[in-house]
Structure 1
Amino acid sequence: MELGLHIADFTWDGGPTQLRKALADHVREAEAAGVTRITVMDHFWQIQGVGPVEHEMLEAYTTLGFLAAHTEKAQLQTLVTGVIYREPALLAKQISTLDVLTGGRAGLGVGAAWNEDESRGLGFAFPSVAERFERLEEALQICLQMWSDSEEPYQGTHYQLGRTLNSPQNLQARPPIMIGGGGEKRTLRLVAQYADACNIGGDAETVTHKLDVLRRHCDDVGRDYEAIEKTTIFPIDPSSTAEDVVRSAETMRDLGFTVAYVYAHDITDRRAISDLFATAVPKLA
């Protein structure tokens, strides 16, 4: 079972003036502990369940560029990008840029978006659920086309591209695609069709059911279910111990997951997070 570090809370001791150094130290320590995957949220405001909406939230791709300069081995991506936040061609270009500048360590994490409050608050269009999923599928198609040898136009319902030129191309053959969420009708179908990984959270009964749904979608589209990486996510707080992390990860492993992303909330000393990983990662390796 592999642990990934998901950085969801930037409200640490020292405040914004010390955040640059704290974040650089945090990811260096994570790599030293054996972490090979680091993700950040793609939100503009802090989300419910992690902290008050007014708490610090860094823009995702600026942050990933910063992390690229302070890591050497870890795969970097969002968990996950809201498709309505960026034009798909720009998103594809951002991932390719990150891949080149990290030496081939970029991934694409993407979903249909859900946070209406921050979208309305900052003036982003927030279409219907049906339209957001249409846009998500077109965005996936655009990324795949831009990461191929094709420079042909793309004509979709929501996006029209005259020339899908992308230079420089990724160093990887193709960055791995993760689609976040457990929606049974659309999200998991898109995972079966396009993704290399899913990310599903919840209790044992819920995630077991979701994985069964994903398996059925794979059967429907002729996809090998085993070829899709199953990842999950769970939180830690100031009361959590390394033994708690190991226990939770082992439970998820027994349900069929191979990667668990761990995020902290209400832990203002980021060194406490690093210490938990330093103890837990070797026990799960």
Structure 2
Amino acid sequence: MRLSIWPGAGQPYADILDVARHAADTGWDGVWIADHFMPNTAPDVRADHPVLEAGSLVAALGAVLPRVRIGTLVYGNTYRHPAVVANMAATVDQITGGRFTLGVGAGWQVNEHEQYGIELPAVRQLLDRFEEALQVWHGLLRTPTTDFQGTYYQLTGAVCEPKPIQDPLPIMIGAKGEKRMLRMVAAYADQWNTWGLPEVIAHKSAVLDEHCAAIGRDPRAVLRTAQALVAVDTPVPPDLRMPAYGGTPDLVKATVEAYREIGLDELIIPDGLLGTGPERRKALDTILGIVKP
């Protein structure tokens, strides 16, 4: 099972680079960056807390970090035209020497759309638009030219050059909806990601298997990745709105083994509960020793 770190983009670049570089130097497998411009609206979070932009971060990290894979977790489709994203992805893959994973999702965070005047369509339209974008990405990143006439996107003899070094560049879809989103994962994705503890991931993974079987695709062709907040040597806060585990190394180990038993391909560790500086590096080393003894 691969092990990757997810540094929050709401911290100075020097701190993001510190945690990412430590992970790269000590044997972790990947670094993921979320695509947001501000915190989600919440009573306990300042809406104006600074957040760095994902595309710039993956390019910067990819240029200076050796060995590890770099990925977006995940680009929101509503924020950029998919042709722009395809060119960004191909460029970062060139920068990293073929180590980029294009993580994409439909888009969802209301306050970002409201503040920037970006349309956030109703769910059905949002998913229709995302499915068209997936077809655009497949065309631009994997074929010489792309012609596409959809409701939301139209391309005529479109090119994306240079192509990624990887052939194909992996596309990961962030998805939790079982009816349609996981069906899109089965049809278009090389990897799948969602939040959840092992029981939730096992259930949704079984649903994904069913969607793959329905279209005649080998379920093993879609890698499974997941994350939850992790606390090391500190109690898990009782009022978290996100899935979380740990508290002691033994409790971390038990949950990691449960992920391994359900066949998870990659466990992603957000750094939100790991502290900062030396404390965070120590927590990373503890987790690494548990997952890859």
Task: Give the structure-1-normalised TM-score.
Answer: 0.90
Q: Which residue of 1 aligns with 2:36?
A: 43
Query: Does the 8 A contact of 1:230 with 1:259 survive in 2?
Result: yes
Q: Distance in 1 between matches of 2:14 and 2:8?
A: 17
Q: Distance in 2 between matches of 1:246 and 1:175?
A: 32
Q: Distance in 2 between matches of 1:152 and 1:224?
A: 27
Cα 1:256–1:267, aligned 2, differ >3 Å: closer, same or farther?
Answer: closer
Identity %: 32
Q: Out of 7, 10, 19, which is 1:26 matched to?
A: 19
Query: Does the 8 A contact of 1:242 with 1:277 survive in 2?
Result: no
Q: Which residue of 2 aligns with 1:251?
A: 258
Cα 1:173–1:195, aligned 2, differ >3 Å: closer, same or farther?
Answer: same
Q: Distance in 2 between matches of 1:8 and 1:23?
A: 7
* More contact order relative to length (CA 8 Å, sep ≥ 6): 1
Q: Cα distance, 1:186 vs. partner?
A: 1.1
Q: Cα distance, 1:187 vs. partner?
A: 0.9
Query: Does the 8 A contact of 1:178 with 1:195 survive in 2?
Result: yes
Q: Cα distance, 1:258 vs. partner?
A: 2.0
Q: Which runs of 5+ in 2 are unaligned?
A: 235-246
Q: Out of 191, 205, 224, which is 2:218 matched to?
A: 224
Q: Cα distance, 1:274 vs. partner?
A: 2.3
Query: Does the 8 A contact of 2:5 with 2:23 survive in 1?
Result: yes
Q: Which residue of 1 aligns with 2:57?
A: 63
Q: Cα distance, 1:237 vs. partner?
A: 4.3
Q: Cα distance, 1:91 vs. partner?
A: 0.4
Query: Does the 8 A contact of 2:71 with 2:103 survive in 1?
Result: yes
| Count of matched residue pairs | 278
Write out aligned runs for 1:1-285 (5 A): 1-8=1-8, 10-11=10-11, 19-47=12-40, 51-237=45-231, 239=234, 240-265=247-272, 267-285=274-292
Cα 1:164–1:99, aligned 2, differ >3 Å: closer, same or farther?
Answer: same
Q: Which runs of 5+ in 1 are unaligned?
A: 12-18
Cα 1:205–1:243, aligned 2, differ >3 Å: closer, same or farther?
Answer: closer
What is the identity, as a one-letter code, of the residue corresponding to 2:132? E
What is the identity, as a one-letter code, of the residue corresponding to 2:267? A
Q: Distance in 2 between matches of 1:179 and 1:21?
A: 29
Q: Cα distance, 1:198 vs. partner?
A: 0.8
CA RMSD, 1 decimal: 2.0
Q: More displaced, 149-158 or 133-142?
A: 149-158
Query: Does the 8 A contact of 2:8 with 2:16 survive in 1?
Result: no
What is the identity, as a one-letter code, of the residue corresponding to 1:191? V
Q: Cα distance, 1:32 vs. partner?
A: 1.2
Task: Give the structure-2-normalised TM-score.
Answer: 0.88
